Amino acid sequence: MFFLNLGLGEFLTLFSAISAGVVALYLLDRSRRKQTVATLKFWRPAEMPSQQQQRRRITQPWSMLLQLLGIGLLLLALAGVRIGQQLSEGAVRDHVLILDSSAWMGARVRQGTLMDDARAQARAWLKTIPSSDRVMVVRADAVAAPVTRFESNRAVIEKAIRETQPGAAALNLGEALRFAQQTGGRGEIVLATAGRIATGELPATLPPNLRLLHVAGPYANVGLRKIGLLRSVTDPDAWEIFVTAKNYGPSPTNVTLALQFAGTPVGSRQFTLKPTSEQEATFLFKTRAAGVVEARLLSAGDAFPQDDRASFELPNQRQLRVTVYSADPALLKPLLASNPNVSATFLAPLEYGAPQPPKAEKPDVIILDRFAPPSPPQTDSIWIEPPALQSPVPVAATYTKAKVTKWTNDAVLGAGLHTHDLELDSAIGFRAGPNDIAVASVDAGPVIVARPGAHKTIVMGFHPERSRVKYELAAPLLFANILRWIAPESFLRWQLTGGNVGTVNVKLAPHTDPAQVRVIGGDGSTIPYTIDGDSLRFFASDPGTVRVLTGEKELVYSLTVPEVGDAIWQVPASVRRGVPRRTPLEAVTHDIWYWLALAGAGCLLAEWIIYGRHRTRLRAMQPGRPAPMFDRKAS
Amino acid sequence: MTRDEPLVDRNFLERLERLTLHWQKSFPGLVGGHNRSRFAGSGLEFLDHRNFHHGDDLRAVNWRAFMRLEKMFLKMFQVEPRVPVRVMVDISRSMTTGAESKFAYARKVAAALCFVGLVKLDLITIQPFSDHLEHSFLCGGGRHRFMPAAEFLSNLRPRGAGDFLKIAREFNHEYSQRGLLIIISDFLDDKDCFKPLQYLSDFGHELMLVHVWAEEDRVPPWEGELALEDAETGANLEISFDENSRKIYTEAFDEYAAQLRRLALRNGGRYAGLPTSLPVEEAMFGPMVTTGGLA
């Protein structure tokens, strides 16, 4: 029998101190109480000399003994007394059990996975250590995370082992061992791993108390390393798909890389991957529709199928529908036809408001060329040289021979606009409102005004194809900027990338405004990021989709491909291996504190029932109205 | 009770006006407060004039007649030979024991009885006592004389040890005229108090014993080893006290009270036992009425 929480000396000291207090209180409670009374004449008949001598000593000794016994039992319960052989203080150790929870531990082996074997070895090791030893369970992949504190309760430890599952990242062995050393445990650092680690994550020195529970498994694996989808620059309907596959095994492997869109095969490649080498395959796939693109790697004898498949959901490529009401449509056709994202329809001004075919889609933007409709359009609109009385922005004056002196510095509207000594033969000047944007101005005032709102409106005081602007590069740029300002979502450039969880570096376009950058997780939450120059960096700890918005570009990262370690850890010979053949040092111990606590409480309860209740009743006795002794009338 | 706190409040006094002190004996030559006599003396109502003689009380001279006639006439008042009511209040130290002071309780009872008597124009003598008779206070003539009596009672302080035999002797020596004798006490005299009470009764006084006790006097709440000290004599007694002892104690106390009651009733008197837990108001309209002391 030994104490878990208190030493024998501490227990005896505590018990002596409390017992002394109890005895003192007991004697004080039963010491003679001085009372001043009105007379002694009624006390003498009540005096019992036969008991006087006995009560001068300790009265009710069983009451005191029961109290002392109860307190002693409660103290024993607090001390955590155990039945069994106690180990010496130096034999009680704190161990750190590192369970490799990297993605590779999900590789198939025999009837289960590498993780199953690791768990079995961890449980076997746990049975060999004394029950008094404490163990901290740490799950390690890219980061090392403790699951339990130093715990002696085997049920808690086994539950932590049982619930450990393979993750999505590679094992960072150096960090896991550093964490284990920082815990300061005096026992062993036990590492249950298959030995596949991330390159460059090897520790400089290994801790001397390291024990390796090596999980033997296959090394042959071919998997997708990276996948990228990018809208073609030349053809907006086409997607360029780049897939990188890697052979992690020691022997060459023939693989087939198949690509499917919405369940339909759209391409495949066959190649031979050399040992520990990567190969990239490129696909060109045309579609405007949304759907799931899936890349699948087929190879024989692959032990880790989780990295053989990756899929993306392609967004719908939507065109901007523009309806032009112009008496001279030939002027504007080149401007609109140059943009593949724009689908333009040209109508005569007289057709404005005419009934449309039932299946005709409502235009996104209406361009009114020198024409004002009877009622303002209920959508975004571009007015070119509107009639003075019907202009949506009040006309201030008409200028002749006016030089464009200023273009807006708005990031979208003014992108790339620059002219030198551009003189307009004739231009309409406008009175811009407080929220309006003066896109182009002459000395006397603005000649192109943008008005934000529910329906965005652009009013141009000169025709881009009927003035000298048509000879400038600013003409198509101005029109492209206006359309992008009106419908920015139609001009987004998509790029989809598949990869592993962890730190992701994104190359930003030059001069990207950091204020327009947002990094959003799959659940809509904002993910912290840093921007260093033209490089954006964020960290994703869980598999999922991350969107990076940079104004005109949206990058989608599907971080669902498991990260498999590139290197096989060559274990030094000095490292102890396997489950030790050591029997437990102590016999089986039993906790009896709850029985002791129950017995102690029972003793105190019995003492109260037998003795204390009576004393409580006496203290509670208050002088009340007595029954009248003589209540009949004297006569 | 603090020094400024009244012994009885106004509402209680108004209720007390309905009560009357009652006695059973017939005292020759004396009447109650509600009857008149034609004897001249120190009364309150005018009876006649006579010539002034040397030695007469100058306060009774009719000065208006002197101013008019330059002769001194003395006003005479009718005497009221009433049955004397003496209220003896025990102020011994034994009255100070108990959670609720018997001494304060006794003073309240005395004040209430005094007011009842004054309302009915009785002549009241308040006579404190411990081991001897203290200075007394005589009051009569109506309710407006109650305040001095109440002040007298308020100024009493407990002292001395009770000695009823000595008190009886002094009382008979001091008050030769028989009357109603109300004794408010705990009657806890270490010596025998029955013989002195019998002696007073035999002398012709009608006894009304108001027995005041604290609850601790009848049922001691303590248990275990007790070191007891007599409040009056300072005598000590160490005793082991338990439930059985308490029972014996209470029986002895009740027997003592029963003896007091028998003594009072045997001699044509009355006995009222008042525990201090019983409010004085309830005591006056309860036990004091049911025993016939008040009506």
B222 to A35: CB separation less than 8 angstroms, yes or no: yes
Pick from B253, B286, B287, B259: nearest CA to B272: B287
DSSP, collapsed to helix, strand or coil, labels residue B261 as helix
- Dist. CA A261–CA A283, nearest whole Å: 12
pLDDT at A588: 52
Which residues, 6+ apart, have CB-to-CB distance to A515 below 8 Å?
Answer: none
Q: Is A155 exposed, middle or buried (0-12, 13-18, 19+ CB in 10 A)?
A: exposed
pLDDT at B36: 43
Mean pLDDT of all residues in A52-61: 56
- Dist. CA B182–CA B106, nearest whole Å: 12
For B13-38, the DSSP string reads: HHHHTT--B---S--TT-B-TT----
User: How is chain A split into domains, by residue range?
Assistant: 2-86+608-620, 90-219+567-577, 222-315+492-559, 320-486
Q: Is the pLDDT of residue B42 over 80?
A: no
For testing contact with chain B, the best of A630, A631, A632 (most B CBs within 10 A): A630
More confident residue, B105 or B140: B105
Packing angle between helix A114-128 and helix A154-162, nearest 10 degrees?
Answer: 170
pLDDT tier for residue A367 given thresholds of 50, 70 and 90: very high
Mean pLDDT of all residues in A554-583: 80
Q: Kindly identify which residue of chain B lies nearest to residue A40, measuring between CA atoms.
A: B230
Q: Kindly identify which residue of chain A lies nearest to residue B225, measuring between CA atoms.
A: A32
Pick from A433, A453, A451, A432: nearest CA to A441: A432
Mean pLDDT score of chain B, rounded to an integer? Answer: 86
Contacts of residue B97 in chain A, CB cutoff 8 Å? Answer: 36-38
- Dist. CA A155–CA A160, nearest whole Å: 9
Pick from B210, B286, B267, B261: nearest CA to B19: B286
Rg for chain A, CA atoms, rounded: 43
Q: Kindly identify which residue of chain B lies nearest to residue A52, measuring between CA atoms.
A: B240
Domains A222-315+492-559 and A320-486 in one fold: no
Helices (H), A244-352: 333-337
HSE (CB half, 13 Å, CA atoms) of A440? Answer: 30
More confident residue, A594 or A97: A97
Strands (E), A274-348: 278-286, 291-298, 309-314, 320-325, 342-347
pLDDT at A413: 84
To the nearest whole Å, the CA of B257 is away from the closest chain A CA by: 9
> For residue A407, what are the β-bridge partners?
A440
DSSP, collapsed to helix, strand or coil, labels residue A52 as helix
pLDDT at A627: 41
- Dist. CA A61–CA A73, nearest whole Å: 18
More confident residue, A196 or B90: B90
Q: Is the pLDDT of residue A503 over 80?
A: no
Least confident of A29-33, A519-523, B112-116, B285-289: A29-33
Q: Is A629 on the interface with B (CB under 8 A)?
A: yes
**Percent of all residues in chain A with a pLDDT value above 70, rounded to a whole number:** 88
* Cα angle value A26/A31/A37 (rounded, 5°): 140
pLDDT tier for residue A83 given thresholds of 50, 70 and 90: low
B244 to A34: CB separation less than 8 angstroms, yes or no: no
pLDDT at B254: 93
pLDDT at B43: 61
Q: Is the pLDDT of residue A139 over 70?
A: yes
Domains of chain B (ranges, CATH numbers):
10-28+82-290 (3.40.50.410), 40-78 (no CATH)
A630 to B273: CB separation less than 8 angstroms, yes or no: yes
For testing contact with chain B, the best of A30, A32, A40, A613 (most B CBs within 10 A): A40
Contacts of residue A617 in chain B, CB cutoff 8 Å? Answer: none
Answer for the pair A3, A11: CB distance below 8 angstroms, yes or no. yes
Q: Kindly identify which residue of chain B lies nearest to residue A624, measuring between CA atoms.
A: B277
Listed ranges A117-126, A223-232, A508-517; the one with the highest mean pLDDT: A117-126
Q: Is the pLDDT of residue A76 over 80?
A: yes
Strands (E), B99-204: 123-129, 137-139, 180-185
To the nearest whole Å, the CA of B102 is away from the closest chain A CA by: 10
Q: Is the pLDDT of residue A59 over 70?
A: no
ipTM reported for the complex, 2 dp: 0.77
End-to-end CA distance of chain A: 82
Listed ranges A61-65, A77-81, B280-284; the one with the highest mean pLDDT: B280-284
pLDDT at A631: 41
Least confident of A47-61, A307-321, A579-593, B177-191: A47-61
Counted across chains A and B, CB pairs separated by less than 8 A come out at 150
pLDDT at B83: 81
- Residue A96: phi, psi to the nearest 5? -115, 120
Mean pLDDT score of chain A, rounded to an integer? Answer: 81
Contacts of residue A31 in chain B, CB cutoff 8 Å? Answer: 225
The model's pLDDT over A224-258, given as tens digits with 9 standing for 90+, comes to 888 888 777 677 778 888 888 888 888 888 888 88
* CATH, range A222-315+492-559: 2.60.40.10
Mean pLDDT of all residues in B76-80: 70
More confident residue, A526 or B44: A526
pLDDT at A1: 58
Which member of B97, B224, B242 has the closest CB to residue A37? Answer: B97
Mean pLDDT of all residues in A188-211: 82
pLDDT at A635: 33
More confident residue, A477 or A314: A477
Which residues, 6+ apart, have CB-to-CB distance to A568 below 8 Å?
Answer: A195, A196, A197, A219
Strands (E), A452-516: 457-460, 493-498, 502-507
A39 to B232: CB separation less than 8 angstroms, yes or no: yes
pLDDT tier for residue A632 given thresholds of 50, 70 and 90: very low
Q: Kindly identify which residue of chain B lies nearest to residue A627, measuring between CA atoms.
A: B275
Rg for chain B, CA atoms, rounded: 22
pLDDT at B32: 53
Least confident of A146-160, A364-378, B9-23, B28-42: B28-42
CATH architecture of A320-486: 3-Layer(aba) Sandwich (3.40)
Single-letter amino acid code for the residue at A95:
H
pLDDT tier for residue A84 given thresholds of 50, 70 and 90: low
Q: Is the pLDDT of residue B71 over 80?
A: yes
Q: Is A627 on the interface with B (CB under 8 A)?
A: no
Global pTM?
Answer: 0.46
For the CA atoms of B277, B280, B284, B285, the dihedral, rounded to the nearest 10 degrees, stands at -70
More confident residue, A455 or A592: A455
Mean pLDDT of all residues in A205-213: 87
pLDDT at B136: 93
Pick from B80, B98, B66: nearest CA to B222: B98
Answer for the pair A275, A252: CB distance below 8 angstroms, yes or no. yes
Q: Is the pLDDT of residue B221 over 90?
A: no
pLDDT at A454: 86
Q: Kindly identify which residue of chain A lies nearest to residue B290, measuring between CA atoms.
A: A633
Least confident of A169-173, A222-226, A364-368, A590-594: A590-594
pLDDT tier for residue A616 given thresholds of 50, 70 and 90: low
Q: Which CATH code of 3.10.450.50, 3.40.50.720, 3.40.50.410, 3.30.420.140 fits the domain covering A90-219+567-577?
A: 3.40.50.410
pLDDT at B181: 93
Mean pLDDT of all residues in A76-102: 75
pLDDT at A55: 47
* C-beta neighbour count of B173 within 10 angstroms: 9
pLDDT at A450: 93
Contacts of residue B270 in chain A, CB cutoff 8 Å? Answer: 634
pLDDT at A57: 54
A48 to B240: CB separation less than 8 angstroms, yes or no: yes
pLDDT at A53: 47
Q: Is the pLDDT of residue A118 over 70?
A: yes
B237 to A43: CB separation less than 8 angstroms, yes or no: yes
Q: Is A56 on the interface with B (CB under 8 A)?
A: yes
Encoded tokens for B82: 């009433």
pLDDT at A132: 78
Answer for the pair A210, A173: CB distance below 8 angstroms, yes or no. no
